[in-house]
């Protein structure tokens, strides 16, 4: 029997391998567990530093939650301690320098996992280091908005949009009514625009040809501008003083328009209140002017005889002959030229009539 069993063992190596495989797997697993424990033990034995931060709330954050920098775990949350109106989170991280600007943010890795603490702006280069006993205040910590708060915000927005105002109209209803008024009658125009776009898309070759022609024309325009750039530059440089002159002219026009606007009131009163009376006076003066014109035309003959009459009077006065007046007394001619006055007798004298008239009127010849 002993020989037979030994013979079977020697003769069936496949059976031996089947029996040795589970034992080999068990050994491999044990080695991996031991190596992992050793690594963890070595990691826990490394130098660490403590860090604390104050949060308004730590909903979803628990002990042993990861502490990360740029998503890489650098430590763990050791304790979450309520402290009045705040929550103090104590953490332990690897012994590494942290910037004095370091901030702590509670992050949602996903909707189905717990939260973690992310250290932001923790790099030191160029910044002072955060003291080991420093606790980050609440103004340097942030927590994400919870799903309930977000849903509550949407609920409040919906309530405010549908709540009637003082005039009885809801804001959402007023918005829809205003949109309806603004968009009323735009259907045909929108239809034409959409049809034009559809037509443009339906003929891409024509659109490409038109675009190519536009680019060719643009190329010609740019070439022309490059060739004539000196003239264009000169025109632009001289255009500035012209604009300045135009600005000064516009300022003068503005002043004149302002003065004219001030004078519109008096002009309105002059034309609408006083001008009708002036027009009546002018209309009433037309017959007088017409009469003066007619009399002036009729008096041309009379005026033409005035020089002859003056000449005759001059001859009568200077010559002593012609029309004369005999009168008596006195015996002497008083106030007249003796050469013109001729004594006719003791009680009579002859004097030219114009001289007598002028003398009686107190005039001089």
Establish if 329 belongs to a structural domain. yes
Residue 237 falls inside a structural domain: yes
Give the three-state DSSP class for 68: strand
Say whether both 54 and 128 belong to one domain.
Answer: yes
Alpha-carbon distance of 97 to 117, in angstroms, equals 17
Q: In this predicted model, what pLDDT tens digit does every residue of 285-313 receive, in sequence order? A: 777 778 777 777 777 777 777 777 777 77
Q: Are 89 and 136 in contact (CB under 8 A)?
A: no
Q: What is the pLDDT of residues 8-56, one digit of tens each?
A: 444 455 565 555 556 556 656 666 655 555 554 444 456 788 899 999 8
> What one-character-per-residue DSSP string does 190-249 give?
HHHHHHHHHHHHH-HHHHHHHHHHHHHHHHHHHHHHHHTHHHHHHHHHHHHHHHHHHHHH
Domain match, 23 and 65 both: no
Range ranked top by mean pLDDT from 6-20, 28-42, 161-175, 319-333: 161-175
| Average pLDDT score over the chain | 75
Establish if 168 belongs to a structural domain.
no
Measure CA of the first residue to CA of the last residue in the chain; give whole Å.
200
Q: What is the DSSP string of 303-318?
A: HHHHHHHHHHHHHHHH
pTM exceeding the 0.85 threshold for the entire prediction: no
Q: Would residue 325 count as lying in a domain?
A: yes
Task: Answer with the one of 298, 324, 344 that is the final residue of a domain.
Answer: 298
User: What total of structural domains would you count in the chain?
Assistant: 5
Give the domain range for residue 291. 230-298
pLDDT digit string, tens, across residues 207-233: 788 888 888 888 888 888 888 888 888
Does residue 209 sit in the same domain as residue 238?
no
> Do the beta carbons of residue 94 and residue 65 sit within 8 Å?
no
Q: For residue 148, which of 115, 111, 114 has the smallest C-alpha distance?
A: 111
| Same domain flag for 104 and 137 | yes
**Same domain flag for 318 and 341:** yes
- Residue 353's alpha-carbon distances to 200, 274, 312, 323, 327, in angstroms, are 116, 56, 12, 6, 11
């Amino acid at each position: 029997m002993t020989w037979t069993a030994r013979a079977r063992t020697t003769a069936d190596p496949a059976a031996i391998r089947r029996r040795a495989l589970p034992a080999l797997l068990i050994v491999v697993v044990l080695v991996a567990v031991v190596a992992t424990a050793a690594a963890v033990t070595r990691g826990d034995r490394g130098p660490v530093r403590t860090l604390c931060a104050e949060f308004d709330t730590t909903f979803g954050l628990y002990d042993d939650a990861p502490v990360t920098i740029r998503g890489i775990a650098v430590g763990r949350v050791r304790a979450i301690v309520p402290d009045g109106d705040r929550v103090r989170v104590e953490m332990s991280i690897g012994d590494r320098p942290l910037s004095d600007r370091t901030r702590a943010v509670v992050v949602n890795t996903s909707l189905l996992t717990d939260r973690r603490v992310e250290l932001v702006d923790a790099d030191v280069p160029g910044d002072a280091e955060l003291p080991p006993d420093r606790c980050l205040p609440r103004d340097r910590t942030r927590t994400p908005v919870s799903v309930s708060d977000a849903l509550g915000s949407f609920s409040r927005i919906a309530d405010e949009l549908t709540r009637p105002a003082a005039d009885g109209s809801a804001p959402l209803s007023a918005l829809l009514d205003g949109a309806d008024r603004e968009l009323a009658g735009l259907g045909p125009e929108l239809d034409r625009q959409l049809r034009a776009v559809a037509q443009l898309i339906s003929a891409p070759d024509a659109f490409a040809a038109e675009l190519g022609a536009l680019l060719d024309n643009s190329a010609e325009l740019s070439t022309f501008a490059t060739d004539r750039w000196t003239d264009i530059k000169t025109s632009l440089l001289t255009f500035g003083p012209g604009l300045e002159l135009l600005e000064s002219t516009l300022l003068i026009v503005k002043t004149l328009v302002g003065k004219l606007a001030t004078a519109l009131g008096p002009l309105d009163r002059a034309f609408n209140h006083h001008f009708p009376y002036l027009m009546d006076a002018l209309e009433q003066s037309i017959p007088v002017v017409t009469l003066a014109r007619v009399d002036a035309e009729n008096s041309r003959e009379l005026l033409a005889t005035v020089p002859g009459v003056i000449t005759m009077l001059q001859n009568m006065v200077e010559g002593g002959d012609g029309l004369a007046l005999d009168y008596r007394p006195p015996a002497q001619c008083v106030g007249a030229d003796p050469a013109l006055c001729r004594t006719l007798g003791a009680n009579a004298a002859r004097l030219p009539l114009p001289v007598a008239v002028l003398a009686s009127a107190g005039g001089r010849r």
